[in-house]
Structure 1
């Protein structure tokens, strides 16, 4: 896709040569074929309404565009890009009058509009898949509010938590990913059409009208910015890459948990070895993990392509948008797979509970207990750390008492009761005590689930409202086109 350049509709000066295939983007433009037809139709309707082309000519052009749509992208003749090929097909259908469809327009503003028109729908698709993943995370969390599991820092046993608390940590991250995708949509859904090559046009065009017909929320007003800017691709690809990184972290955790026997992935999301019949490999999640590399690589490639480009149009931009579309395809698929893997996984509750006590994971709870009894936290930390060093695993009460005597000069039980220490050493009781907002205690998680469900519903309404607005715009454009039949 390029600015006005050689081709069937601009024949004489540049007639071909070995670079013609190198210049062509026709094959990769299949993705924006329908977008280009919509942009063409809206532009022609506006030209007729403004008296720039006659109604009869507009009707002929719109009829030819309908024939092109019915024949499909594969029917287009060779050309430099889809825009030129469609215009060539229209001219072939109705004669020279077909060339009037390009009045007051450049391929620069045309392609920028097509990219935004297509990408906004892709962003809604991506946002919708994040909603499904969030629903699955919440639904699974609701089933496991009391399923104790080990929590880690540095991949070392740290403190006990619950499966619900763990899963909701990822729901929070995915919710932010949803927000970034919807924010990107807001800036993608602005119309550059009418900017022409970059310096506007002397024709009395109505840019607001084409924006309305195409379902855009507003204009990219400055014509130079409208034709040349591709930061909307950066923002969208950045949001997708960020979400891919979130997915990669979740996938990595589940791969590790499967290795430890904490979770069993459904057969549909696993594979076996070609030679080792006992194997059950978490292959789908390993591929999900790798998608982050694809998305981040696409973002890096896009940033590098756009770096240092002078205003206004440069042919480098032809190679910019595939990175965004490749990212959205890969990330949407990876999100769907991740949601399916989580929804069908079985959490091994007994193995998780046993592991939650390993590595003296309740140590912080004991230190907190002593601090709540009046000891300085650093002193409590010293007592528990020394007791852990003297024990092969979780220290018994006698060891804790002896170390307390050595550090502060009196018995552990001068500060806390035996029952309180035993509860602090119990992973289930430890989790139950951590009932601060956002904590793992079942009551705190239940409150968090209410918030999560409300957030998912709100974002779902936003996606549906935007889809409805786009559908309404398509219907409106169809009605206007029908007036010229």
Structure 2
């Protein structure tokens, strides 16, 4: 199975979304007086992600026109009889666009001629108090909002895999590294939960950015509003927004440039974190006896064309490359927004910004596959820990904590022990207790090593070190259990948040379809 074939279906497929289904019923005459109670839930097999993928610029321009028809007719800005004719023309344009290879214009100036062709010049009564500025700003926010939910969904999927893997390895002791050098023993679960905490901050950033994007610019026209008393709040409700962009100048000139830059920073964070984790795994592949590998086959690894002993980590390499691609795309909005006047279109391109967010989701998907393919050898990991002096700090800690020796002096003792051991090729578990006593007396003149041999051995036991941590957030079993439970709860809350946002948009669009059906019926 190739990498491409494992991309999420919603990244490639086009499927009829709920509003399109309703529009088809309206246009073909299948709608009836019972439309007010029409079941507008997604058709079987149509996922929320597929609905989001189907909501392109044309879709949102159609929704804005439908909402304008309903609202302006209700509020006396559009003659009800003309509203019925305009609605009929609009539904024809929507139906025509569902035909194979049909034109789906992405701009107001190309959408409106189709309306005029279907309904005559009277259809331009819809354009009272509107502009391509506020309409395009609105669909950009709507599409970016959908993309952010897709990114949040994939982030949650990957994070859940990370937390589940942590739950399986609470007792797996591994070396952790700082500055590229083995530093301390740790539980692999604790290490993974650290990465999960970083992704949790990314999830929080998505929620915060989403709240700022989830604002409708409709009704602000170009710069400072319009003389028409448009009901902006009701428009926002129909389009599934939580509210409106308050300042009319901000709506299309400032916030619409801010949004892709902020989203780019989130994609950057997600991709950098993905790359960091992948690189940490890849370092094991340079060892002759790694303690962590990928399960071979199924696209995870591939054999060298020349060297039969090699199982190259293709999945990890691809994921790292995907993360780098996402970082590259995420810099685009920043560069494009630099040194231009407010409102310019440079950073607003829908395709570019969608590709940027999808690239972040693709990197996360690759990481999810890699995490599921990891093969971890706890015995080999512990052997690796015990092959070096990653536990040496514990000697200084024990001497200070239990025997009041200043830390720097204890650190010096531990350092001398490590130097002697490396000079004589002695591993921690084999270090002679008599040599430890000698080194202590020479380093701390006039004093004897206050640790018994049993205590000295315990100070060098990586399992005991990891399990006996006492601080909150440490690697001890009780804290691992707490952090895993809380991480799982946060993921559930995040799933609920995503579902609620998607549900709100779907319900709002369904409400618009029902009310638009009433206008069609006259």
TM-score by length of 1: 0.88
Which position in structure 1 is the counterpart of 2:28?
Answer: none
Which position in structure 1 is the counterpart of 2:239?
Answer: 214
The 5 A counterparts of 1:372-391 are: 372=401, 373-391=403-421
Q: CA deviation at 1:104?
A: 1.4
Q: How many residues align?
A: 452
Which position in structure 1 is the counterpart of 2:45?
Answer: none
Q: What SS is found at the alignment partner of 1:437?
A: coil
Q: CA deviation at 1:83?
A: 2.6
User: Which of 115, 119, 136 lines up with 1:90 in the alignment?
Assistant: 115
The 5 A counterparts of 1:381-460 are: 381-392=411-422, 393-394=427-428, 395-410=431-446, 412-413=448-449, 415-460=450-495
- The 3 A distance-change label for structure 1 pair 159 and 315 is closer
User: Which of 179, 188, 204 lines up with 1:154 in the alignment?
Assistant: 179
Query: Is the CA contact (8 Å cut-off) linking 2:441 and 2:447 kept in structure 1?
Result: yes
User: Which of 340, 361, 366 lines up with 1:332 in the alignment?
Assistant: 361
- The 3 A distance-change label for structure 1 pair 346 and 67 is farther
Q: CA deviation at 1:173?
A: 0.4
Instruction: Deviation per CA, 1:9-32: give whole Å up to 9, x if none.
Output: xxxxxxxxxxxxxxxxxxxx9942
- 1:232, 1:332 → 2: CA distance? 18
Which position in structure 2 is the counterpart of 1:477?
Answer: 512
User: Which of 455, 466, 473 lines up with 2:501 in the alignment?
Assistant: 466
Query: Is the CA contact (8 Å cut-off) linking 1:61 and 1:94 kept in structure 2?
Result: yes
Q: CA deviation at 1:163?
A: 1.1
The 5 A counterparts of 1:363-374 are: 363-372=392-401, 373-374=403-404
Which position in structure 2 is the counterpart of 1:271?
Answer: 301
- 2:220, 2:228 → 1: CA distance? 11
Unmatched tracts of structure 1, length 5 or more: 1-28
Q: What SS is found at the alignment partner of 2:89?
A: helix
Q: CA deviation at 1:259?
A: 4.0
Q: CA deviation at 1:412?
A: 4.8
Which position in structure 2 is the counterpart of 1:56?
Answer: 81
Q: CA deviation at 1:376?
A: 0.5
Q: What SS is found at the alignment partner of 1:53?
A: coil
Which position in structure 2 is the counterpart of 1:71?
Answer: 96
- 1:273, 1:219 → 2: CA distance? 56
- The 3 A distance-change label for structure 1 pair 147 and 318 is closer
After TM superposition, the structure 1 stretch with the greater mean CA deviation from structure 2, 291-300 or 346-355, is 291-300
- 2:329, 2:316 → 1: CA distance? 20
After TM superposition, the structure 1 stretch with the greater mean CA deviation from structure 2, 235-244 or 253-262, is 253-262
TM-score by length of 2: 0.82
- 2:144, 2:454 → 1: CA distance? 61
- The 3 A distance-change label for structure 1 pair 55 and 330 is same
Q: CA deviation at 1:303?
A: 1.6
- 1:383, 1:180 → 2: CA distance? 45
- 2:345, 2:260 → 1: CA distance? 16
Which position in structure 1 is the counterpart of 2:331?
Answer: 300
Q: CA RMSD in A?
A: 2.1
Which position in structure 2 is the counterpart of 1:120?
Answer: 145
Query: Is the CA contact (8 Å cut-off) linking 2:218 and 2:232 kept in structure 1?
Result: yes
Which position in structure 2 is the counterpart of 1:257?
Answer: 284
Query: Is the CA contact (8 Å cut-off) linking 2:223 and 2:249 kept in structure 1?
Result: yes
Runs (4 or more) in structure 1 with deviation over 4 Å come to none
Which position in structure 2 is the counterpart of 1:239?
Answer: 266
Q: What SS is found at the alignment partner of 2:184?
A: strand
Which position in structure 2 is the counterpart of 1:142?
Answer: 167
- The 3 A distance-change label for structure 1 pair 249 and 301 is same
- The 3 A distance-change label for structure 1 pair 264 and 167 is same
Query: Is the CA contact (8 Å cut-off) linking 1:181 and 1:240 kept in structure 2?
Result: no
